[in-house]
Amino acid sequence: MRFRPPPPCYHEVRDAIKRHGIGAVRRAAQVIGRTLGVKASPPGDVKLVLMETPLRVEGVLARGGYDPYRRIIVLAGDLWCWKTLIHETLHSMSAFFRDEELIPYSLEEWRLVVEGLTEFLTGCVLYRQRRERECYEYWVRRRYAPCRISYERYVRTFAALTQTLGITRCTLNKIFFHGAVRDWRSEYWSFLQSYGLPDLFRAWRGPQELEGAILKALMDGGRKRAAEEFGVLTDEELVDLKALLDSTYSSL
């Protein structure tokens, strides 16, 4: 595959983040709060660390990371940009990495599902900033390596689920953000019961297994039409990812 140089904004954004340091994290948190309509913030003592070399997570190069125990956001190597800062700042604001009972699960068994939901919300932030920045187009079209979407199949799963069942942004905020509700587990189980869903946060063997469990729950609940719609939306050959995400984010 031919190397594609990053867009001019890549250098501008990275230079600004390097210059402002932790102030850039606070700015990202403000953007998240405004675009998603949520009152949440990173820990007061959150730190930002910039590394010259890439991270490796399970043998794969990673653009960044968040350590919930040390409350450190890491941006590593030359493949991070605004999208990565939004994603990692979302982690620092989430119940999954702020609730001491949820952290171990989120780092292990639930990791890929949590990452997928976080990236889905990252896309929503970028979508709502699309008149200010070109990040969303680069993200969803996979145009440049530092900007491109991560955990793509899980993002598609959450988009299809949100659109099929009409899940609201307020509902997602209650499940995702730290401090949005008093009792996360009670709110989560209420959410599953309201929408007739299986437990989403498990050690799935992959996104296909998660999608299969959702389809089964919909069929078992007598919602054949919803099951059919979900099946179509999760099929990469039938529905273009950008068309799905545009439609989902515009109504979220």
Per-residue pLDDT tens digits for 136-178: 999 999 989 999 999 999 999 999 999 999 999 999 999 999 9
Give the mean model confidence (pLDDT) for residues 17-44.
Answer: 97
Mean pLDDT taken over the chain: 95
pTM: 0.96
Residue 180, domain extent:
152-251
- Residue 113 counted as domain residue: yes
Inter-helix orientation angle 111-128/22-36, to 10°? 80
Same domain, 12 and 136: yes
Using DSSP bridges, classify how beta strands 64-67 and 47-51 pair: parallel, antiparallel or unpaired: unpaired
Same domain, 100 and 196: no
Same domain, 161 and 184: yes
Helix (H, G, I), strand (E, B) or coil at 184: helix
Q: Are 66 and 91 in contact (CB under 8 A)?
A: yes
Q: Residue 228 — very low, low, confident or very high, per pLDDT cuts 50/70/90?
A: very high
Question: In the numeric block, which tokens belong to residue 228?
Answer: 């059919």
pLDDT at 1 over 60: no
Q: Are 118 and 207 in contact (CB under 8 A)?
A: no
pLDDT at 2 over 70: no
Give the mean model confidence (pLDDT) for residues 70-84.
Answer: 96
Task: Give the pLDDT of residue 59.
Answer: 62
Same domain, 19 and 135: yes
Separation of alpha carbons 98 and 177, rounded Å: 9
Domain total of the chain = 2
**Which of 25, 165, 191 lies closest to 200 in space, CA to CA?**
191
Same domain, 73 and 186: no
Same domain, 89 and 196: no
Give the mean model confidence (pLDDT) for residues 244-249.
Answer: 98
CA distances from 77 to 15, 65, 182, 227 (A): 14, 12, 38, 42
Give the mean model confidence (pLDDT) for residues 194-217.
Answer: 97
Q: Residue 60 — very low, low, confident or very high, per pLDDT cuts 50/70/90?
A: low
Task: Give the pLDDT of residue 53.
Answer: 83
Task: Give the pLDDT of residue 138.
Answer: 96
Separation of alpha carbons 155 and 210, rounded Å: 12
CA dihedral 26, 32, 38, 43 (to 10 degrees): -30
- Residue 146 counted as domain residue: no
